[in-house]
Chain A
């Protein structure tokens, strides 16, 4: 990591720490949901952007995480245990769901995960004795840190921010590790990766499972943020929303999903004045975006950078100019 990048990161973190003080309670809530969705999108980015597996089930992992945390904390289990349990459960389920990924890929995997998401929502809705059915669960407690309550929006924001930074650093470490390189090799060329000794089976499953556990954590934070969950919050639309965050920001770029989440979470706030036409405008924007920059915004930046380098040094091949 260069000095330049490090300085940018520190500045970014400083902004994230100072920003909530200028915001109303609602502003802090929006910031919190951005961070929460960023965590979920980071996980999906590992599955999709780095390991190249299309998943439409991220919201179902958020749901599993949210219900696990809610049910356990309300039954008196301390919050760290509940949140870790949520992550572990999602890891295991993601690992099991990843098995189909070994048999089928691409659009087939998209359909399997889509069906899985729909099944999870059905169960959340129908098993009323456990999940409260369509009425959901109300009054989920927020965690207590060193005797400090995070009931206030600002305190909870810093709790979420700390976990966000922790998960981002963890993801960075995973991507830089031999595992992470194996993920990338798998995405670029599965056959070559296999011939170089990458265990496709293990690597794919791991990417899926780790990505899912990120979704689980995001779900548990979402449950504590809104203090109310129902099956509707974890439907297919939410999975698509998270997928869109990854694609809009730029799949396979570390900061892609974080940028994407910012845009997708803020878009409704900016388009609020359009009222009923909001979803139509939103859908049109997505189509336009897909047509003009399918690699996402960071992909667009990267393309611009390469073009600039090529202009400075016309003899360089695209690859030499930094791909």
Chain B
């Protein structure tokens, strides 16, 4: 077994542990307190937001404009057109503004 292979297998094991770990912890409890439930209901917005915010802040005017357009599009349109509008606008802005 090469060390690369061992690292990959180790990475796979710890990744799977994170993907099932939260469920294993929660299933130890008999009931769920409303506070815990409220916290769990916030998970999608809380976690996914952290994958967006730093990238936006680290961008420049091009990214901010494209992102704003995508947010507005997202209020009305489904995912694929939303992403396309934001990305196409960014391509155009970068083309003209460098």
Q: Do A and B come from one complex?
A: no
Q: B residues near A, CB below 8 A?
A: none
Q: A residues near B, CB below 8 A?
A: none
